[in-house]
């Protein structure tokens, strides 16, 4: 499945460009003479981090910089969520902020797991990020208060019939493809988790995760700047919390995100483009 996803998702595979290892790489192969499981796993994890630092440092640095910029921008406005009597906000602002905050932690966690070669568990986290981004934007642009209430109170929100089928424009085909692939990694299918820990045995899996991260960072930035931050919030943040620096931060973030778009292929670019587009939602009851 990783190869199937990788083919349309990214242009090149830096990890694949590494020199061929002349010896069989150590892995979890149930040979007791190699030591205890956790000791072997830690050794592999250390070696993975060295390899990722050598071959993928540009991607890691870009993702970290984007996360830091998202955090800095959010910090100028978060305090206003407790001042609804001052600033006019989106009716779904608390849910949107909850999604942004949890996703910030989740994206960081997925990055760190990927650097350690734990690409399988990282993908389970990334599917939750994507779902939260779709649900949060839907709640931001629709008048479906019932779904928003169910989402905020922890009740089930059916992703496909409850959200995707109600988005009339743009096309949700790319969303369905991505969500379907991510679901196959999360549910107990043959594609879930991972068999090998040593990334020398499956370097393409690391590159696929970096594409997922870059795609979702673009969606995260849109959710923050287009749907959490309202003109009223920007006015009061600029006046009282030094948000005059935000335009420069946004400019730097846009530059980084433009770099990510050049590093991926048409499918992730379409996901980003359709997520950032103006959504047309079907009227309630249809």
In the numeric block, the tokens 């990214």 are attached to 10
Q: Which of 203, 200, 219, 206 is nearest to 261 (CA)?
A: 219
Non-local CB neighbours of 11 within 8 Å, separated by 6+ positions: 263, 264, 265
Q: What is the pLDDT along the chain (286 residues), one digit of tens a residue?
A: 444 444 445 555 566 666 555 455 688 889 898 899 999 999 999 999 999 999 999 999 999 999 999 999 999 999 999 888 888 989 999 999 999 999 999 999 999 999 999 999 999 999 999 999 999 999 999 999 999 999 999 999 999 999 999 999 999 999 999 999 999 888 888 888 899 999 999 899 999 999 999 999 999 999 999 999 999 999 998 888 777 889 999 999 999 999 999 999 899 999 999 999 999 999 874 5
Please give the distance of CA 71 from its chain centroid, rounded to a whole number.
14
**DSSP structure class, residue 168:** E
Phi-psi domain of 93 (left: phi exceeds 0; alpha: psi -120 through 50; beta: other) = alpha
Under a CB-based contact definition with an 8 Å cutoff, are residues 108 and 67 in contact? yes
Please give the distance of CA 147 from its chain centroid, rounded to a whole number.
23
Q: What is the pTM of this model?
A: 0.90
């Amino acid at each position: 499945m990783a190869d199937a996803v990788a083919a349309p998702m990214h242009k090149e595979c830096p990890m694949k460009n590494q020199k061929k290892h002349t010896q069989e790489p150590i892995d979890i192969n149930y040979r007791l003479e190699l030591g205890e499981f956790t000791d072997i796993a830690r050794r592999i994890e250390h070696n993975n981090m060295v390899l990722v630092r050598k071959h993928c440092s540009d991607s890691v640095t870009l993702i970290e910089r984007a996360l830091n910029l998202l955090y800095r921008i959010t910090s100028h406005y978060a305090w206003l969520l407790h001042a609804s009597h001052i600033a006019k906000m989106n009716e779904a602002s608390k849910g949107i902020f909850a999604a942004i905050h949890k996703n910030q932690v989740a994206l960081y966690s997925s990055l760190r797991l990927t650097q350690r070669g734990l690409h399988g568990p990282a993908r389970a986290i990334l599917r939750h990020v994507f779902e939260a981004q779709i649900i949060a934007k839907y709640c931001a642009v629709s008048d479906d208060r019932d779904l928003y209430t169910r989402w905020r109170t922890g009740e089930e929100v059916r992703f496909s019939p409850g959200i995707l089928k109600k988005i009339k424009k743009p096309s949700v085909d790319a969303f369905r493809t991505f969500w379907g692939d991510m679901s196959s990694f999360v549910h107990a299918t043959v594609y879930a988790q991972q068999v090998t820990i040593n990334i020398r045995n499956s370097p393409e899996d690391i590159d696929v995760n970096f594409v997922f991260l870059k795609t979702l960072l673009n969606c995260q930035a849109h959710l923050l700047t287009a749907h959490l931050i309202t003109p009223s919030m920007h006015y009061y943040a600029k006046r009282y919390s030094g948000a005059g620096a935000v335009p420069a931060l946004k400019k730097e973030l846009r530059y980084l995100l433009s770099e990510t778009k050049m590093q991926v292929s048409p499918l992730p670019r379409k996901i980003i483009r359709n997520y950032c587009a103006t959504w047309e939602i079907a009227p309630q009851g249809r």
